[in-house]
Amino acid sequence: MSCVLLLSLSGFGQDTARAVADGWKQPDSSHARAWQRRVDIAAGLIYTGWFVMLNETWYKDYPRSSFHFFNDIGEWQQVDKVGHAWTVYTASRIGYGMWRRAGAGNRKAVMNATLSSTAYLLAIEYLDGRSAEWGFSWGDAGADIFGAALFGAQQLAWDKQLVQFKFSSHPISYPDELKARTKSLFGSSLLERTLKDYNAQAYWMSMRLPRSWNLPKWLQVSVGYGAGGMLGGYENTATDAEGHMVFDRRDIRRYRQWYLAPDIDLTQIRTRSGLLRTVFFTLNSIKFPAPTLELSNGRLRGHFLYF
């Protein structure tokens, strides 16, 4: 969500997308100084604002505790951990665009973007560590660092993203007997289900095809990961405050999903329109719907379109 707010800042989207299309050409010094001030202020306000908002709207409803750790590495078939990595990767990519457009060199922009996005997610982990409901998760923290490293290492080594980290989600229609459970876990609105329903999410690594193949520059191949059949963190059960079983669907199999599909690198589509460049840059964190092969439950099947 913070990434969307970053792009909505006045003038940022078009200039950043233009910088992407033009190979990050540097602005003149006066323009760079003005942009640097705007970037520093915007980044500080956004990260601070979201931290305060999360603390007040989410964590205040749960009892606090002394700082402690929490091992949740086995939950949700690790789909939530991949989501952490994607969030930091995407925040780093957007932040990099901001600092690069402001006149920072490649290395400085990478450092500013990756460190600030990682610090923001680790601050959220700190709030988890002070909540009696959860705790500081080394699994989440490790995923955050991996997402920043994936972006930063590529940008420092090649000044481009040869492997792009993307996200997709599609609504799932659950049977009537599961709707009470899925509503309590994943919410009821489309936005809530997009963000919370790990059964509906997939994460993708999209890669450029060899230039020797003489294919369009925007065409990529993408490998994806997801999971299904999950109606709880570790198993499909739930108990009430007294420890009584209130939901038990261990008959529903939990499974992992692997995908292979073509993808589109929207930043490689040339256009003279600043608005379209903004849209393409923004949407390039999302996997493009395409024909897909899925391997799950020991079976290979195809989808005409998968998202």
Q: What's the pLDDT score for residue 28?
A: 53
Q: What radius of gyration, in Å, describes the C-alpha atoms of the chain?
A: 21
The number of residues in the chain equals 307
| Res 31: pLDDT | 61
Residue 48: strand, helix, or coil: helix
Q: What span, in angstroms and rounded, lies between the C-alpha atoms of 118 and 150? A: 12
Say what the pLDDT of residue 8 is: 35
Q: What's the Cα-to-Cα distance from 205 to each of 78, 89, 221, rounded to whole Å?
A: 16, 12, 8
The total of other beta-carbon atoms located within 10 Å of residue 65's CB is: 13
Split the chain (307 residues) into runs of 10 and give each run's mean pLDDT.
Answer: 35 40 48 69 74 68 85 94 96 87 87 91 88 89 97 95 96 94 90 91 95 91 98 94 91 97 94 84 92 96 93
Give yes or no for a contact between 94 and 15, defined as CB atoms under 8 angstroms apart. Answer: no
Q: What DSSP character marks residue 251? A: T
List Cβ neighbours of 108 (8 Å cut-off, separation of 6 or more). Answer: 99
Predicted local confidence at residue 58, as pLDDT: 64
Q: Which helix (H) or strand (E) holds 263?
A: strand 255-264
pLDDT at residue 118, rounded to an integer: 94
Q: Strand ranges (DSSP E) for 6-97?
A: none
Tokens at 300, concatenated: 């290979």
C-beta separation of 127 from 137 below 8 A: no
Contact 118, 144 (CB under 8 A): yes
**pTM as predicted:** 0.85
β-partners of residue 300 are 295
Integer Cα distance of 42 and 112 in angstroms: 13
Helix/strand/coil for 13: helix
Q: What is d(CA 144, CA 89) in angstroms, rounded to the nearest whole number?
A: 8
What does the alpha-carbon distance between residue 91 and residue 137 come to, in Å, rounded to a whole number? 20
What are the backbone angles phi and psi of residue 216, rounded to the nearest 5°? -55, 140
Q: How far is CA 305 from CA 68, 76, 226, in A?
A: 44, 25, 16
* 298 φ/ψ sector (left φ>0, alpha ψ -120 to 50, else beta): left
